[in-house]
Amino acid sequence: MFCRCYNLLIQFDQGGLSFERDFYLGDQKDKYHAAFLDYYVAIIKLLGGKISEARPIAEEIWNLETKMAEVSFLFLFK
């Protein structure tokens, strides 16, 4: 059986956090949060995303990675 693929797909994969965990949980997290959002909004726009949806999507990514940073901290002490 052969597959005749007519559509091209792009897949992005990430093996961990975008930054070290201190960027999400440290004293300067607000500064990194703002830079992170600006960066991801720019990437989402470049990939053809709607400008009105770019910031909420970037915020979701930040929140997910912050939760991952918190959990990764817990695994260090188990």
pTM: 0.67
- Cα–Cα distance for residue pair 77/64, rounded to 1 Å: 21
Lowest mean pLDDT among 8-22, 35-49, 56-70: 8-22
Model confidence pLDDT, tens digit, residues 21-51: 788 888 999 999 999 999 989 998 998 988 8
pLDDT at residue number 68 = 85
Answer whether 19's CB lies under 8 Å from 40's CB.
Answer: no
* Torsion from C-alpha of 32, 35, 38, 43, nearest 10 degrees: -90
Residue 50 DSSP symbol: -
Sequence spans of domains, the chain: 21-76
The one-letter amino acid code at 30 reads D
pLDDT band at 63 (very low <50, low <70, confident <90, very high): very high
